[in-house]
Amino acid sequence: MPTADRQAQATWEGNLFEGHGSVSLSSSGAVADLPVSWVARTEQPGGKTSPEELIAAAQAACYAMAFSNTLNKDGKPAERLTVNATCSFTFGDGPARVSSMRIDVTGRVPGLDAAAFEDAAKRAEQGCPVANAIRGNVPIEVSAHLES
């Protein structure tokens, strides 16, 4: 079975709470030296990102592709899908953890009613590799809205 490896690199300087770092997408070069910090992770981003925001980005992109494929296989290709993913990070009491993933998708799909759109949205989540990677460890919620 073919395998595609993708790489990212992170650099960190200093301690967790006062330090800072950066992330680069090594394989594609699409993003270089994207700043990360604890404050961006737990308070206000201030132009920096966090691992959870990167997970949300991966989830949104992966789910959009999976949903597009599901609709196409159903013979109802989408004109447009807009996916917002929210990855929640819980910290404080107990170990810090990614505690939930919420996927909110809005789409324009000619010839499809709202019930069929919602059904396809749920099936697409089951075929999404990023969702499959976190399922069982993190609750995943999907909310689907068909444009009229």
**For residue 115, what is the domain's CATH number?**
3.30.300.20
pLDDT for position 93? 87
Cα separation, 15 vs 21, whole angstroms: 10
Same domain, 29 and 68: no
Residues 31 and 65 in one domain: no
The last residue of a domain, from among 49, 71, 87: 49
Q: Are residues 71 and 128 in the same domain?
A: yes
Range in 29-33, 51-55, 60-64, 68-72 the model is least confident about: 29-33
Q: Are 105 and 60 in contact (CB under 8 A)?
A: no
Residues 70 and 29 in one domain: no
**According to the model, what pLDDT value does residue 31 have?**
87
Which pLDDT does position 116 carry in this prediction?
97
Report whether pLDDT(82) > 90: yes
pLDDT at 1: 87
138 with 106, same domain: the answer is yes
Residue 30 is part of which domain span? 1-49
Query: How many structural domains are present in the chain?
Result: 2
Tokens of 67: 């949903």
For residues 45 and 55, state if they share a domain: no
Q: Are residues 95 and 78 in the same domain?
A: yes
Asked if residue 88 has pLDDT above 90, the reply is yes
Tell me the DSSP string of 36-93: E-HHHHHS--TT-B-HHHHHHHHHHHHHHHHHHHHHHHTT---SEEEEEEEEEEE-SS
- For residues 60 and 116, membership in a common domain is answered with yes
96-123 per-position pLDDT tens digit: 999 999 999 999 999 999 999 999 999 9
Are 3 and 31 found together in one domain? yes
47 Rama class: left (phi>0) / alpha (psi -120 to 50) / beta: left
The pLDDT tens digits for 7-30 are 999 999 999 999 999 999 998 989
41 and 55 share a domain?
A: no
112 plus 81 within the same structural domain: yes
